[in-house]
Amino acid sequence: MGTYYNPGKHGFERALNSKIYVDKTGLIEYTNSVLDSEQAYICVSRPRRFGKSMTAEMLVAYYDKTCDSSELFNGLKITESPDYKKHLNQYDIIHIDVAALLQVTDKETGEKITAGKTVKYLQQVVIAELRQKFPTIVNDDEVDLPTVLGTIHLHTSIMFIVIIDEWDAIFREDKMDTKAQQAYISLLRGMFKSAASKKFIKLAYMTGILPIKKYGTESALNNFDEFTMTGADILAEYVGFTEKEVHELYEEYHMNFVEAKRWYDGYHLAENLHIYNPKSVVDSIRRKKITSYWTTSGSYETLKNYIVMNFDGLKDAVIQMLTGGGCKINPNKFQNDMVSFHSKDDILVLLIHLGYLAYDIDHKIVYIPNEEIRREYINAIEETDWDYVIRAIADSDALLRSTWQKDERAVAKAIDTVHEANTSIVKYNDENSLSCVIALAYYNAINEYTIIRELPSGKGYADIVFLPRKKSDKPAMVVELKWDKSVEGAIEQIKDKQYTQALQDYHGNLLLVGINYNKKTKKHQCRIESIAK
């Protein structure tokens, strides 16, 4: 058993020893189905702390021929597969954690080795272990890993399963070292894309945060099937925890699933499939408290540095998403690195891969996925010059109180203030932009309400519905927005089109709120009526 060559089952054993383990062994059925085929090259990218390393350790334990891991897999989903025993502990494994290699120190200087030296070091340590196993085949002067693997196969017919965890660490840690990155890509091409490599690769499985680097429009390793946060496809359920899995966990530990959904849900990677943040779910159960966990394991500096970049429309997009909306993007031009930015879309796509945004693949819309991430944006914005946004958020509690008290003048004046303070970043020219300002003005309402935009109801769509959370004693609110019309017309539309039908299961006080923007006076008007339900 080695560190890189056939490292055994211990990594997966540790995962199973954890208090909470969610069975993701169904992924193995897919990898078994593509062994030694043109589809045997897989790259799965997902944010940090989403289970990449645990998945890699699972595959190592299952395939490594130097151990018997049958006891570990007893009772897990993969045992139901007809090919389970056929491939269990049958292959030679090479497992490389690139992020760990970047932490190695130079013996002479005592400093971390550079990315360029990491590419060389990676090959040295793996070849050294292979030399111990194949001393008559691997010469002392060998330095090229693909050549060594080819030579071993030539003499023994052995095919390798190569698992590379955090494949993109060099692109993330040494962003500007393009020479090292090119050397690394050349190594990966030699291992996975050459004619010779087809003879010795049984399966290649790579994980990372970023998808495989592009040069122009072409992937550097275009023979890989990629499963990403913008296209997880058939492997979507293995990116994080599914809603079903999370619901079962919270029931088992007698915790509030509804609140957990608000905090950790939001990554919709396939139709009717909600993916939750595994780190946060597990920590919330372990600590018996639903709050931020994933975001506190990193620094909001990363988020701040990206959202303040000077690309046209980026601030507009962030505020639109911060207030519950989304914006359309084109993810296809992103170069899959952390330096090649040409537009706001490049920034937003990077934030998807980092986990700070989610992506609706059907509508090509990006949005903030949940409460945990929303609060991280507030932390990041507080360190910027967006004072007008912070003031609007701080004043939103007062606006809510004015609304509950039906103080129409105070509501209109508060919305005027938010609008005037944000004219530099919000293009104010239609009901959509009015909706953005209203959502920003009522920002803190999320603490009391579930906020739903364009809710189907009656004979149309209610612009914004504020549905009180459980145990809240606040009134429900249906808000209708008008652009250069009248607040009276807004209230009548709510009644005529029966928007309150959306709240047919709600019983309590209900406020009908009409808000209009007058283009001539550049002021807002408000009308509030209360009814009992």
Cα 76 from Cα 87, distance rounded (Å): 15
Separation between Cα atoms, residue 428 and residue 318, nearest integer Å: 16
Q: Is the pLDDT of residue 6 over 80?
A: yes
pLDDT in tens, 256-274: 999 999 999 999 988 889 9
pLDDT, residue 433, reads 76
Band the pLDDT of 183: cuts 50, 70, 90.
Answer: very high
**Residue for token pair 């990594």:** 11
Lowest mean pLDDT among 104-108, 203-207, 484-488, 493-497: 104-108
Q: How many CB atoms lie within 10 A of CB 360?
A: 14
pLDDT at 191: 96
371 vs 260: CA distance, rounded Å? 10
pLDDT for 56 equals 96
The pLDDT mean for the chain works out to: 91
Cα–Cα dist 526/96, whole Å: 62
- From the number of C-beta atoms within 10 Å of its C-beta (0-12, 13-18, 19+), residue 271 rates as exposed
User: In this predicted structure, what is the pLDDT of residue 89?
Assistant: 98
pLDDT score, position 59:
98
The ranges assigned to domains in the chain are 10-227, 235-382, 387-532
Under CATH, which architecture does the 10-227 domain have?
A: 3-Layer(aba) Sandwich (3.40)
- Give the model confidence (pLDDT) of 119-159 as tens digits: 999 999 999 999 999 999 999 999 999 999 999 999 999 99
Rounded percentage of the chain residues whose pLDDT exceeds 70: 97
Give the pair of three-digit tokens for residue 166.
């955090």
Task: Determine the Cα–Cα distance for residues 489 and 530; give it in Å rounded to an integer.
Answer: 16
What SS3 string covers 225-250?
A: EEEECCECHHHHHHCCEEHHHHHHHH
Tokens matching residue 301: 């500096």
Closest by alpha carbon to 82, among 24, 15, 32, 9? 32
Give pLDDT, residue 499. 84
Q: What is the DSSP letter of 324?
A: T
Q: What is the pLDDT of residue 423?
A: 63
Tell me the fold of 387-532: Trna Endonuclease; Chain: A, domain 1 (3.40.1350)
How many angstroms separate the CA atoms of 121 and 114, rounded? 10
Extended strands (E) in 361-398:
365-367
Confidence of residue 431 (pLDDT cuts 50, 70, 90): confident
> What's the pLDDT score for residue 428?
65
DSSP, collapsed to helix, strand or coil, labels residue 449 as strand
Residue range 30-83, pLDDT digits in tens: 999 999 999 999 999 999 999 999 999 999 999 999 999 999 999 999 999 999
In this model, does residue 427 exceed pLDDT 70? no
Which tens digits make up the pLDDT trace of 81-111?
999 999 999 999 999 999 999 988 877 777 7
Name the DSSP class of 3: S
- What is the layout of strands, in order, in the sheet containing 358-360? 327-328, 365-367, 358-360
Is the pLDDT reported for residue 505 higher than 90?
A: no
**What is d(CA 144, CA 219) in angstroms, rounded to the nearest whole number?**
23
The CA–CA distances, whole Å, from 435 to 32, 248, 275, 482 equal 50, 37, 28, 10
The pLDDT of 409-433, averaged and rounded, is: 79
- Return d(Cα 193, Cα 213) in angstroms, integer: 14
- Residue 299's pLDDT is 67
The average pLDDT across 200-220 equals: 90
CA–CA distance, 121 with 104 (Å, rounded to integer): 9
Question: What does DSSP say about strands 41-45 and 201-208: parallel, antiparallel, or unpaired?
Answer: parallel
